[in-house]
Chain A
């Protein structure tokens, strides 16, 4: 039986339009055999949580470069919890000061990928994480 493909939602929350990273990751994950849904720009946490439910994804990848992560990430995690989506793996890629990382992890973000991360590291992380029973 073919293995079920991992479903990933790539989202860009907030007002920032710099989507180079989000697009590169979307394509790299797709090339690695995952089902990727890209939300497009300027998604509110509500829109992202609804899309995650609707698309029944295993993973949400957030691309944030603007410094708004401390506001946006906890909002999204709260909404996911309310919708019974606490099992979804939420990843953040972008410009995140190291001092903010413990707080984001505490809010439930599974991993934070900083500038310079290779796409293969992200692919490997997702494979490992989604294969694990949680």
Chain B
């Protein structure tokens, strides 16, 4: 396998040092800077990003030594896509405003979806509750207390039909944040599309389906890595043939960052996850240019403005190099990294929550200047609960203000050529490749995960950050400085009636459907799981007969077993 050829980036110099300075800069330091510093010394000894990455005082041409604008920067829509994947970017088409929503029952969330669409949102994104994410029905004992709390409760095709009632799937693109049971929920979605008469070849949307980051960060896994990867590749194979416009995966750094990683770790682990999926798909016999155009990515937008922008730009360049050099992709659609961005939930403060509107706006701006294809902006109350309609509306309006009032969409990649942004992009890229090479040497991401490597790296970074906050080396407004007394916020409360309503629906469903037919199809799925056939058609058959999510996941659990991680602290 080819190693990346990039060697342009230089290691960061010590903080306060302006790198390999040119004569002019050396002269400036003597004449101008030194007297200034003598009069007004700098506020801190070291300046670092949110990820505690050192930033120098000044960036000049000297920081771009060996960097070639023709090949490293190029032009928008052209390899290596540093300046973005579209030639005319937001001048032609704004990003998709895709607010993640889901709570209570399918009926509750259907109403919120229709509200958001009526207020100018351009795509849907579904949040599922914890039982659904873990493959349990709402009436399973382990679901107690969790039904409808963190998202919508979906236990069967019956619920899915209600969720998308009066929403034409042929017109609206839908993203579904579901991972271990992704194949099952996707089968339900496709069944709804079929009922609506929407052509599978024309519907579009995104299935998160990224199990690797579950083991690394979010921890909503069911089966061990091997069978989980098999199911993911089954969905790739199925999607290539049946739903050519659907993103079969959203390879996600978001959760890795929320778990406390640095920006560089988010970038590196996410792209190495992407390479892992590619390698498993190639081993299955899929052709790179057949499936790569259906891969998509998902990144966090955290507080440190330029670090985030550098991360997105570096991501496109790394993916282009991986696609062309490691995997020999020929189709330009395989080369271009498309991504969704969500502002950082972990950056929101429970204290003085109105300040979160400002944080979110700045983070969203970083996503836009980084060239995102779609965007979710968090609501001001999300450090407390799922958003109220009031808070969700401000979050959507924030995107509309960025799009229509700030002027940042008037030109393509306005930051291209900035010494700082280009130098940081180079450094972030180089540091990410270092991680990629380390994981390659371990034998790939699945092995690295089983050894706890990315988990340990993230835990270490998250602890360092917490210590910096506790020592006030990093100031969080309203939390460790500028603290004021305040009144509690009005928040959305989900009560236990949701669980009761779901239990009643499930009882009725089980009474109304043909149990013999459900059993027959679940048996067929179990047999297929024991063999090596693609599981998607069997899962689809089972959900069509109204087998529940819990039953389908349990059928596979009996074959694949359940995964338990070794806890790392």
- Asked if A116 is at the interface (CB within 8 A of a chain B CB), the reply is yes
Report how far A66 CA is from B149 CA in the complex, Å: 7
Q: Assuming the A-B contacts A99-B488, A116-B350, are A23 and B569 also in contact, with contact meaning beta carbons closer than 8 angstroms in the complex?
A: yes
Q: Assess the B479–A116 pair: CB atoms within 8 A.
A: yes
Q: Are the CB atoms of A97 and B491 closer together than 8 Å? A: yes
> Does A15 lie within 8 Å of B463, measured CB to CB?
no
Nearest-neighbor residue (CB-CB) of B140 within chain A: A15
Give chain B's interface secondary structure class.
Answer: loop
B350 and A115 within 8 A (CB): yes
Number of interface residues of B (CB under 8 A): 47
Q: How far is the CA of A72 from the CA of B139 in the complex (A)?
A: 16
- The reply to whether A20 and B259 contact each other, CB–CB distance below 8 Å, is yes
Which residues of A sit under 8 angstroms from B259, Cβ to Cβ? Answer: 18-20
Alpha-carbon gap, A104 to B467, bound state (A): 29
The answer, among B150, B349, B462, for a CB contact under 8 Å with A23, is B462
User: CB distance A20 to B569 under 8 Å?
Assistant: no
Cα of A35 to Cα of B258 in the assembled complex, Å: 27
Contact B466 A38 (CB under 8 A): no
Which residues of B494-535 are within 8 A (CB) of A? 494, 496
Q: Spot the interface stretch: B105-113, B129-137, B315-323, B397-405.
A: B129-137
Chain B residues with CB under 8 Å of A116's CB are 349-351, 476, 479-480
Task: Say yes or no: A115-B349 contact (C-beta < 8 A), given A17-B218, A66-B130, A67-B494.
Answer: yes
| B457 on the A face (CB < 8 A) | no
Residue A110 lies at the interface, judged by CB distance under 8 Å to chain B:
no
On chain A, the residues within 8 Å of B470 by CB distance are 118-120
Is the CB of B442 closer than 8 A to any CB of chain A? no
**Distance in Å: Cβ of B126 to nearest Cβ of chain A:** 18
Given contacts A15-B134, A116-B349, is CB(A68)–CB(B149) below 8 Å?
yes
Determine whether the beta carbon of A118 is less than 8 Å from that of B469.
yes
CB distance from B211 to the nearest CB of A (A): 13
A71 at the interface (CB under 8 A from B): yes
Say if the beta carbon of B161 comes within 8 Å of chain A. Answer: no
Interface residues of B (CB under 8 A from A): 130-131, 133-134, 136, 142-146, 149-150, 214, 218-221, 258-260, 346, 349-351, 383-385, 459, 462-463, 466-467, 469-470, 476, 479-480, 488, 491, 493-494, 496, 564-565, 567-569
